[in-house]
Amino acid sequence: MKKQFFGTDGIRGCVGEHPITVDFVLKLGWAAGKVFAKSSRGRNLILVGKDTRVSGYMFESALEAGIIAAGVDVGLLGPMPTPAIAYLSRTFRAQAGIVISASHNAYQDNGIKFFGSDGYKLPDEIELEIESYLQQNIVTCGSNELGRASRIRDAAGRYIEFCKGTLPTGFSFAGLKVVVDCANGATYHVAPDVFRELGAEVIEVGTEPDGLNINDQCGSTSPELLRQKVLETDADIGIALDGDGDRVLFIDANGDIVDGDELLYVIAMFRRENDLPCAGVAGTLMSNFGLEKALAELNIPFARAKVGDRYVIEMMKKNQWELGGENSGHIVCGDITTTGDGVVAALQVVRAMIEGGKSLAELCHNYHKLPQTMINVTVKGAIDIDSNGDVKKAILSAEKKLAGNGRVLLRPSGTEPVIRVMVEGDDAALVGELVQQIADTVSEQVA
């Protein structure tokens, strides 16, 4: 069977447009409750958390009602980072954790994503089983079998302690000045406290969510505000999280952006130099070739998975590697967490800085990023970019001009209605010219 609703990262779309509607999410909660209850050996419990977008209240209530109707208890976490919900699903021995979030998207979007009892995203067969229940009518349990709802009030404190516990006992950030940008999202009441309790001087940005300002000119997708704050306050680093806290980017003391590829390199290098677990690194098709070259110099194996942290994690499991991630800032430390965790990844980078006695810029010195440009082309319908003659011709022409010193990649987004066009090469001017030519060709084909 082919999945109808689940994409690479749950179900996502514009609020009020199918399937991101109240009636669908109500039924989704019921369907999930029926599926997960079957695997229970005792108490049936599903945790539900959300980010800060205004529609989260509505969908939280809808999920709660659907899950209860299926005879399953609900633990309401309130606003919590996506990785926190993965962690808490394990510690509460819940059947599942559900996240109401559209991650880095604007407030007009929302989505639903799931974690199993092991803290990992669901396998295809479970998603398909949930979809099969969506084809049925809701049948409410008898009153004596209905689930119950409770609010878990210490969720944030539990996650803060977990994050701090990923560092050696007694490890201190004293003397470090850090700007933390929470994108007015789910980490607003978590991330600043983690760094502050570890001893750092913390300057907060994007910690005043109002339901509409999530990811709005702040966070990992818009780091300019953070860059200005780092330079203005003479901070050592700036840390930019996204709306649900599973991505992270840095700004170094010079005001330069340090992306996910560079952060992966820093963590991998620190681990290799300190005999910590780092058997290999899983990247994606979008990972910069500079990462591959830099890791090769450290004799660290590298392989590319399809774009999406679930595919990165699959490759990590397959190769028994501890580290993987994406240039967008999804970083998975597999010996610590089960999913991309912006706060945990940031802590590993800061640890490398402090133990190495180097600035972030110094740690990145041997990493040489190839110029890479990506253009998102909006599409209204499906387009087979692999068989479109004009698109193939444009790609071949670009590859010929790159002469083996770069690469071209086109792929449909798993979370947005766009085709991502990426060109990478030694010559930045040529890269910019070629990516625009291909993007124009794709745009003409979908007009």
What amino acid positions are annotated as catalytic residues?
103
- C-beta of residue 248 within 8 angstroms of C-beta of residue 331: yes
Phi, psi values for residue 206, rounded to 5°: 65, 40
Best CA proximity match to 163, nearest among 97, 245, 45: 245
Residue 233 CA, chain-centre distance (Å), reads 28
Pairing of strands 281-284, 257-258: unpaired
Name the burial class of residue 382, with classes exposed (0-12), middle (13-18) and buried (19+) by CB atoms within 10 angstroms of its CB.
exposed
Radius of gyration of the chain (CA): 22
- Helices (H), ranges, 189-308: 191-197, 224-233, 260-273, 289-297
**Cα separation, 401 vs 412, whole angstroms:** 24
- Residues sharing a CB contact under 8 Å with residue 418, sequence separation 6 or more, in sequence order: 376, 377, 378, 379, 412
H helices, E strands: number in the chain: 14, 18
Asked if residue 32 lies in contact with residue 67, where contact means CB atoms within 8 angstroms, the answer is yes
Separation of alpha carbons 403 and 25, rounded Å: 50
CA pseudo-torsion sign 331, 336, 337, 338: positive
